[in-house]
Amino acid sequence: MSFQEKSNLVMTVITALVYGVYFAKVMPPALSEGPSMDLVMPYLFAAVVFLVVGGVIAHILVAMAAPNEADVSDERDTLIEMRADARSGYVMSAAAVLSLGLALMDQHLFWIVHMILGGLVAAELVKGVLRAIDYRLGG
């Protein structure tokens, strides 16, 4: 397994965990008590901190496991990255259109912001999964 593949798997798992916890903490109160942007800021800040710190620590550990591979990237890695970016763009585009729809329906800012954030997260997860599939299938 190459450094790029390990890095992709680690970041996909970290992203899923961090934002899974974020949405699990933020959505139930919004659905039961009504949306509130005041509730969001501490959780969003914590999510970003955990994502960055977790990513840095994970990349250091992956690089320490195989230091000679840490800087190596080839054409295959670039091609896999480009394919996954192109495909995951459809997810982000759908979320953007849905966010515009929410804005046009005059929905609360909370729902618009979280549709955009959800689209970004979903697109990153789709990208990570597509990369993992391409690496495993020899893309």
114: Cβ–Cβ under 8 A, 6 or more apart, which residues?
Answer: 23, 26, 27
Could you say which DSSP state residue 66 is in?
A: S
Per-residue pLDDT 10s for the chain (139 aa) are 778 888 889 999 999 999 999 999 999 998 998 888 888 899 999 999 999 999 999 989 988 887 777 677 778 888 888 999 999 999 999 999 999 999 999 999 999 999 999 999 999 999 999 999 998 887 6
User: Global pTM?
Assistant: 0.87
DSSP letters for 24-59: HHHHHHHHHH---HHHHHHHHHHHHHHHHHHHHHHH
Q: Of the candidates 9, 28, 24, which has an alpha carbon nearest to the alpha carbon of residue 133?
A: 9
Q: How far apart are CA 81 and CA 15, in angstroms?
A: 17
Neighbours of 19 (CB within 10 A): 20
